[in-house]
Structure 1
Amino acid sequence: MSAFKSQGRGHLDGPVVVIGTGLLGTSIGLGLRGRGVPVFLSDPSPTNQAVAVDIGAGRPLAELGGTPQLVVVAAPPDVTADVVCRALADYPESVVVDIASVKADIQSRLRSLGADLSRYVGTHPMAGREKSGPVAARGELFTSMPWVLCPSEETSGSALQVARSLASDLGAVVSQFSADEHDEAVALVSHLPQVMSSLLASRLQGTPLHALSLAGNGLRDVTRIAASDPTLWVQILGGNAAKVVQILYGVREDLNRLIGTLEHPSAPGARLDLAQLISEGNAGQARIPGKHGGPPQAYSWLTVLVDDKPGQIAQLLTEIGEIGVNVEDLRLDHSSGQNVGMVELSVLPNKHDHLIEALNDRGWRVLQ
């Protein structure tokens, strides 16, 4: 397993064919066109293709006059293998990649179909938005985001280089995994969070509104991705079910342990077990990579009260810049029943006290 950050422009000359003009396919087209690479688009939906063409992501596939250097399959996961197989047959001199979020199942399916895997690379850009479709596309969507390459044993070095160039041309941070390594990793860092978020959010369906009025950032943070597209996630979870279910077995054991403890919260050792469970969560959370994918780093938090009116947050951030402190992270919440916003800021620990003092001097209301 290896990883490296791209430097400068890659080496794609094109033309590039993009099959599928949803959010990711159209964003790839916009990003490549912005770098001068000719792009041609195809989609089963004439409307989606027309919209993608109209916003400048490429030209219709019918206008392609030569052999593409690369074909990007941006199809739904359940049809990706069939579309890749057809593309390998239709373009016998081209490299073909897909961008589906599961890899081992697609690779196995292609091998069973007798596809030419020497020209195929499974890839997965770890980027997206809450919105979908070509109108939500952005050419900079992949900038500084992870993009995983999953070559098979048969993949040629030249095909792998073309796939790497695609990701690096779009500004992504490129890494290389085997298909199984990839699926195991995303089961934990992507698919399990979706499942847990959806399970928690489902408990809110019958909750009285006066109870939900007490919700703060904790509930919003944990349930944000529960708004994801059900159709897409049926395909993702079905395609990676074996890896996800192994993790869920472990979650089930932890839940059973917690339930047993809470059923007898005054029993000897119960409080220690609860503390250990929370501590284990602390240890796991601390291992999540920090800013720009670097090593985890502890930050200090402070909260600034702002009036709930236009321009306040922009003014706060402008003044923090004038003070000379870099904001590492930011969260926004509102005080229940009050026209006051609460801006939670994280900064480097050695800047924490200085920023509080400087903001107080400028008249801001700071909570430590």
Structure 2
Amino acid sequence: MRTALVIGTGLIGTSAALALASRGVTVHLADHDPAQARTAAALGAGTDESPEGLVDLCVVAVPPAHVAATLADAMRRGTARAYLDVASVKGGPRRELEALGLDLTPYIGTHPMSGRERSGPLAATADLFEGRPWVLTPTRDTDTEVLNLALELVALCRAVPVVMDADAHDRAVALVSHMPHLVSSMVAARLENAEETAVRLCGQGIRDVTRIAASDPRMWIDILSANPGPVADLLAQVAGDLDETVTALRALQSADEQKRAEGAAGVESMLRRGNAGQTRVPGKHGTAPAAYEIVAVLIDDQPGQLARIFADADRAGVNVEDVRIEHATGQQAGLVQLMVEPRAASALSAALRERGWSIRQ
């Protein structure tokens, strides 16, 4: 791949353009808002000038509702050897293209499973896709050269290719992305009018659950409008679980011992189902989740504290597998949770204590 045209210079389009440009591909940028394309160009994502001739690959990075029309326009103008989109739904846009009667041999639907709470070109980074799955949905009509160019794009962005059927993809992202976003928003909505004294008690749990609720609603309306059926089906199942859990919790208020026992059993069943589901979430490097031990370290909110902790862990010969930070409300301090292999936890705790760190159980 020597040349590419990226149509749509939001977070995903600009990030892909930055990755391609950093690896020597000449990237042309286009957007319905020329100012946004100029911003992406100023960031080093390419040039906002139109290509003089045929490019190798046209990447369409627009909202799902506009994918088919944008692709159809680019294909009719003959702008590229190959075309792909990066929308978060795949079945609908392809059916729209088929209805337009276009030759789809030069097209493949794709979806990089990566993003941020922020949107727009200023939120873009060249490493946004590194190590992340990038779904490809080829059909029997997809030309081999087109598939190869799509795989080259994935490789240049240092993502991990995953081949799926388009409709299977849409059901999967409804489960792992679209439905969780709505549930996160529903939980966060409970905070909108909550008492300030209650909100001040927010800890890491509520932060984890509501983090993705900060995303742009306009973007999510586009996404959910393109995949409403599978998301609604899943939310109906969640609603059923909520009804059962509410019934079980009400039973715990009963004066009848048998009803309280049934309520406790119902709540426990829900929690254990949650345990079982959570263990299926892939862990580090996509492997089965490992059982790490946490070494919790109290730190001040001062420059260089995290660097010192990681340097001291390195001196102790311990690999930190993951890290979380729990901030103390109203204090210039926080708790850094270092996740390590169980056999390394004692050695790391001892080494950090020797270097003056305050370890918490």
TM beyond 0.5 = yes
Q: Distance in 1 between matches of 2:208 and 2:170?
A: 25
User: Sequence identity, in percent?
Assistant: 43
Which among 338, 341, 351 is matched to residue 358 of structure 1?
351
| Aligned pairs (5 A) from 1:117-132 | 117-132=104-119
More divergent stretch after superposition (267-276 vs 139-148): 267-276
Q: Which one-letter code corresponds to 1:106 in the other structure?
A: P
Residue 250 (str. 1) matches residue 222 (str. 2): no
Which of 98, 104, 111 is residue 111 of structure 1 equivalent to? 98
Counterparts of 1:1-368 in structure 2, within 5 Å, are: 13-62=1-50, 64-91=51-78, 94-265=81-252, 266=257, 267=259, 268-368=261-361
Question: TM (normalized to structure 2)?
Answer: 0.95
TM-superposed CA distance for 1:93, in Å, is 5.6
Aligned length: 355
SS at match of 1:39: strand
User: In terms of mean alpha carbon deviation, does 334-343 or 316-325 score higher?
Assistant: 334-343
Q: Distance in 1 between matches of 2:119 and 2:329?
A: 32
In the alignment, is the contact (CA less than 8 A) between 2:316 and 2:347 conserved in 1?
no
Moved more, 328-337 or 195-204: 328-337
- Rounded to whole Å, the distance in 1 between the matches of 2:9 and 2:55 is 17
CA contact (8 A) 1:69 1:94 kept: yes
SS of the residue 1:153 aligns to: coil
> Once the two structures are superposed, what CA deviation does each residue of 1:236-265 show, in whole Å capped at 9, x if it has no partner?
111111111111121111111101111111
User: Residue 60 of structure 1: CA displacement?
Assistant: 2.5
Deviations 1:141-173 (A, max 9, x none): 111111000123321222111111111111001
Closer/same/farther in 2, CA of residues 269 and 136 from structure 1, 3 Å limit: same
Find the aligned partners of 1:226 and 1:91 in 2 and give their Cα distance. Answer: 40
Q: Distance in 2 between matches of 1:209 and 1:163?
A: 50
Mean Cα deviation higher: 285-294 or 125-134:
125-134
Residue 65 of structure 1, CA deviation: 2.2
- Give the number of the structure with larger relative contact order, counting CA–CA contacts within 8 Å between residues 6 or more apart: 1
- Gapped runs of 5+ residues in structure 1? 1-12
> CA 1:322–1:90 in 2, change beyond 3 Å: closer, same or farther?
same
Aligned to 1:9: none
Q: Give CA deviations for 1:285-329 in whole Å, capped at 9, x if unaligned.
A: 111101121222111112111123222222112111111111111
- How far 1:269 moved relative to its partner? 2.3
Q: Distance in 2 between matches of 1:221 and 1:112?
A: 42
Counterpart residue type for residue 125 of structure 2: R
> Conserved in 2, the CA contact under 8 Å of 1:53 and 1:59?
yes
Instruction: Give SS of 1:278's match.
Output: helix
- Provide the aligned C-alpha RMSD in A: 1.4
Q: What is the letter of the counterpart of residue 350 of structure 1?
A: R
- Once the 2 structures are TM-superposed, how far is the Cα of residue 131 of structure 1 from its aligned partner? 2.2
Offset, 1:337: 4.1
SS at match of 1:60: coil
Q: Secondary structure at the match of 1:140?
A: coil
Give, in whole Å, the separation in 1 of the partners of 2:38 and 2:329.
45
In 1, the alpha carbon distance for the partners of 2:281 and 2:159 equals 19
Structure 2: runs of 5 or more not aligned = none
Question: Which amino acid is 1:40 matched to?
Answer: H
For residue 299 of structure 2, give the secondary structure of its aligned residue in structure 1: strand
More off after superposition, 353-362 vs 282-291: 353-362
- Give 3-state SS (helix, strand or coil) of 1:16's partner: strand
Query: Given that residues 118 and 216 in structure 2 are in contact (C-alpha distance below 8 angstroms), is that contact kept between their aligned partners in structure 1?
Result: no
State whether residues 107 and 152 of structure 1, in contact with CA within 8 Å, keep that contact through their aligned partners in structure 2: no
- SS of residue matched to 1:94: strand
The one-letter code of the counterpart of 2:4 is: V
Secondary structure of the corresponding residue to residue 326 of structure 2: strand
Quote the Cα distance in structure 2 between the aligned partners of 1:205 and 1:69. Answer: 49
Separation in 2, partners of 1:338, 1:167:
44
Partner secondary structure for residue 284 of structure 1: helix
Q: Is the 8 A contact 1:88 1:94 kept in 2?
A: no
* Residue pair 2:325, 2:336 contacting (<8 A) in 1 also: yes
Shift of 1:61: 3.7
Query: Secondary structure of 1:269's match?
Result: helix
